Structure 1
Amino acid sequence: MIHNEYDNEDDKIQDKLNQKTWNEIRTNDSWAIFKIMSEFVNGYESMARIGPCVSIFGSARTKPDNKYYLLAESIAYKISKAGYGVITGGGPGIMEAGNKGAHRGEGTSVGLNIELPFEQHYNPYIDKDKNLNFDYFFVRKVMFVKYSQGFVVMPGGFGTLDEMFEAITLIQTKKIGKFPIILVGSSYWSGLMDWIKNVMIEDHKNANIDDLNLIKIVDTEDEVVAELDRFYKKYNLSPNF
């Protein structure tokens, strides 16, 4: 857990507005570049040895008896049996379920962990040499995107939405390949998709209707595996593991 030197949010804001503190921050920020570089180097070297996988995103707050936890575990199990490695954020909830399913399926199980004040701790189902720890969210997100051959998005909160829209944006802007983005749980995601289609696209023209083709909504583990297999057959590829 990250140490918090502030008693409350007001103290944090006041400290940021203090000129002396701001001067110290500018100096520290310059030296932080080396820490950032070291995280990138370690991440690249570690993930290059592991190879590309399928990322599973979802809430850290999902309990083991929740239907989406059980579904995520089953999805990861079937993904691993189909030959795909699995990457998660390395923490509890859906992330744990993903690693647990991959571990049970004797597949590659990777965790990209980050310390958070309330909910993050690494789960016990990550392969021993494939548990990476990060201090910076943006470095961690690069590892997710660079080494993912597909994105399975389970129900989650703001962090899950952040990771999902990062992948969509990079595909939309052609910064990465058009890998499949699979949202699991039509009852959970349909409202968001309706808003994107009706408000963002049709009412305000802030995206193209074709962008919706980047996203597939499914409800079962078999549909997830079928979407991944369809993608690989289309491009005459095969899973890395």
Structure 2
Amino acid sequence: MAGPSKTQRRFPDAAEDQATWERQLDTPQTLSPSYRLAFADFDFLKRDELRPVRLQLELLKPEMELQDRGIVSTVVIFGGARIPERPEDARRPGLAKLAHYYEVAREFARLVTLTSLESGCAENVICGGGGPGVMEAASRGAAEAGGVSIGLNIVLPHEQAPNLYGTPELSFNFHYFGIRKMTFLMRAKAVAVFPGGFGTLDELFETLTLIQTGRMEPMPILLFGEEFWRRIVNWEALAEAGTISPADLDLFRFVETAEEAMAAMRDWRAGPEGAAD
């Protein structure tokens, strides 16, 4: 339920009280940190005891902004920050072999965004990590299609500066990995996972775990690059060992191209086991 309008409000709102506080004369009392309004006292908000409050704020800020903009669903793209646009830009030979996935991610995001534009950018909005590599390709493809993209950045000592293609009004910054991952999946209609490192693996397996355990509704999980993913994970060995069910291997599908991924999303069947056709 919406809160009272300004004409209905009986008490001053937070902005009004902050403005009044800032106009006060400087005295030893008003200059004391203890006199600051609690919501405007950043030193207070950063205390360890306020972590539960910060967790809630970090969840609410992007959620309320996306609600205000009418964004209903997203297509999430995960992938490595180190994937270069061109093989010659690769830091290591192995990355040069993965460079073509930059263009695949860019084209996939472009095609998804074209469908998003048909809904007025309410459905199928591209959502990525907001950083370089595959994340940049996702933002870039969405921008080239004339749409918007959501960027969920996180404060890291390296690799995670925002790319220049993301929609500024939909670029968010996180302190907590857990809240960021939850935000990725809250509106997800499909998840596309490109080659990446520990972060990408973490995001992929959390998504699969939530679906496998029934904590999240099944959706298309598209793994780009079958050769890469079969080298990284021995999926069948997990089923043979009994640590997952054979049906769990149907929770995802390997794809190679943007067009193949679009077709897989269209044809996906969310049956009792969340299997694909």
TM range (shorter): 0.7 to 0.9
Partner of 1:76: 109
Determine the C-alpha separation between the residues in 1 that align with 2:147 and 2:264. Answer: 19
Determine the C-alpha separation between the residues in 2 that align with 1:145 and 1:180. Answer: 12
Amino acid corresponding to residue 205 of structure 1 in structure 2: G
3-state SS of 1:82 partner: helix
3-state SS of 2:216 partner: coil
- Report if aligned partners of 1:47, 1:147 keep a CA contact under 8 Å in 2: no
Determine the C-alpha separation between the residues in 2 that align with 1:120 and 1:53. Answer: 21
Partner of 1:138: 178
How many pairs are equivalent? Answer: 205
Runs of 5+ in structure 2 lacking a partner?
1-45, 87-98, 117-123, 272-277
More relative contact order, 1 or 2 (CA 8 Å, 6+ apart)? 1
Question: Once the two structures are superposed, what CA deviation does each residue of 1:128-155 show, in whole Å capped at 9, x if it has no partner?
Answer: 2100111110000000011111000000
Determine the C-alpha separation between the residues in 2 that align with 1:137 and 1:51. Answer: 23
- Report if aligned partners of 1:54, 1:149 keep a CA contact under 8 Å in 2: yes
Is 2:207 the counterpart of 1:167? yes
- Report if aligned partners of 1:47, 1:143 keep a CA contact under 8 Å in 2: no
Determine the C-alpha separation between the residues in 1 that align with 2:269 and 2:142. Answer: 20
Partner of 1:225: 262
Deviation at 1:233, TM superposition (A): 11
Amino acid corresponding to residue 74 of structure 1 in structure 2: E
Which of 123, 131, 135 is the equivalent residue of 1:95?
A: 135
Partner of 1:40: 59
Determine the C-alpha separation between the residues in 1 that align with 2:180 and 2:230. Answer: 28
Cα distance change on mapping 1:181 and 1:142 into 2, 3 Å: same
- Higher-Rg member (1/2): 2
Is 2:239 the counterpart of 1:201? yes
Q: Percent identity?
A: 36
Determine the C-alpha separation between the residues in 1 that align with 2:127 and 2:85. Answer: 19
Determine the C-alpha separation between the residues in 2 that align with 1:39 and 1:130. Answer: 14
Determine the C-alpha separation between the residues in 2 that align with 1:29 and 1:206. Answer: 38
Range moving further from structure 2, 76-85 or 157-166: 76-85
Question: Once the two structures are superposed, what CA deviation does each residue of 1:90-139 show, in whole Å capped at 9, x if it has no partner?
Answer: 00110000010011112231100111111111011111210011111000
Q: Which runs of 4+ in 1 moved over 6 A?
A: none
- The structure in which a higher percent of residues are helix is 1
Runs of 5+ in structure 1 lacking a partner?
1-26, 235-241
Determine the C-alpha separation between the residues in 2 that align with 1:122 and 1:96. Answer: 8
Is 2:190 the counterpart of 1:190? no
Determine the C-alpha separation between the residues in 1 that align with 2:224 and 2:109. Answer: 12
Determine the C-alpha separation between the residues in 1 that align with 2:73 and 2:148. Answer: 10
Determine the C-alpha separation between the residues in 2 that align with 1:231 and 1:102. Answer: 23
Amino acid corresponding to residue 45 of structure 1 in structure 2: M
Which of 228, 232, 251 is the equivalent residue of 1:214?
A: 251
Determine the C-alpha separation between the residues in 1 that align with 2:156 and 2:104. Answer: 25
